[in-house]
Amino acid sequence: MRSFHCRRRRGLICLFIGVLFLAQLVSLSSVTAGAQEKKTLSLQPKVAPPELQIADSRETIPDWLARWELARVLSYAKRYDESSGEYEKLLQEKPELSEAQVEWATVLFWNGKPSEALKKLEQVPPRKLPEKAQILMADLYARQKKYDRAESLYRDYLKSRPDDLRVRLRLAEVLSWEKRYEPSLREYEEILKVRPEDNQVRRKYGFVLMWMGRFDDAARELKKTLP
């Protein structure tokens, strides 16, 4: 009888241990599954849906701005006729864009149409004319022998940039073409103070002296430019 009771007690103990082990196994499986699910969720890309990304975009490029950039890039590619056409369409829509008007004039100049370029520049209010366009306009006036207008623009530019010797040289040339030799010589002399070794400028200076009838002075200056 005692042996029976002992066997029964051992059986109950084994059953209890088995149940306890099974419960721990189930608990461990649950924890592992939860961790795996958490890991899977953490690996998902944190990217907003495409429709939300589009909705959040605040930048809208208008047609006129896209056309402006198209006109520019066509000019960079030297497709001047196409560029000119896009500038024309742009300015029909946005006639107040003085900068675009200046760019269009430049494209016309590059395309061998100086008269048309000048007309476009003349439509820009003087206060909105950038310095480069001011010089281009002066050069175009000089080509048309409108020397007084060219001179005015060159002088106005040199008030703020007196050290720009290239523009000062253009002014000196225009004055000489007007046969205003004395003021032309003064401009050449200003240049030669800074660049005394510039033989091309000195030769032009010598020519003006010759046109004035100052032959000895002209000969002296021209000799300085020869080996």
Same domain? For 154 and 89 the reply is no
For 178-223, what is each residue's pLDDT tens digit? Answer: 999 999 999 999 999 999 999 999 999 999 999 999 999 999 999 9
Structure pTM?
A: 0.69
> Within a domain: residue 37?
no
- Per-residue HEC secondary structure of 103-162 comes to HHHHHHHHCCCHHHHHHHHHCCCHHHCCHHHHHHHHHHHHHCCCHHHHHHHHHHHHHHCC
- Residue 7 falls inside a structural domain: no
Number of domains in the chain: 2
Does residue 48 register a pLDDT over 80? no
Which H or E run includes 186?
helix 181-194
- Could you tell me if 169 and 201 lie in one domain? yes
Per-residue model confidence (pLDDT) at position 216: 98
Q: Which of 123, 113, 134 is nearest to 91 (CA)?
A: 123
Asked whether residue 19 is assigned to any structural domain, the reply reads: no
Residue 8 lies in a domain: no
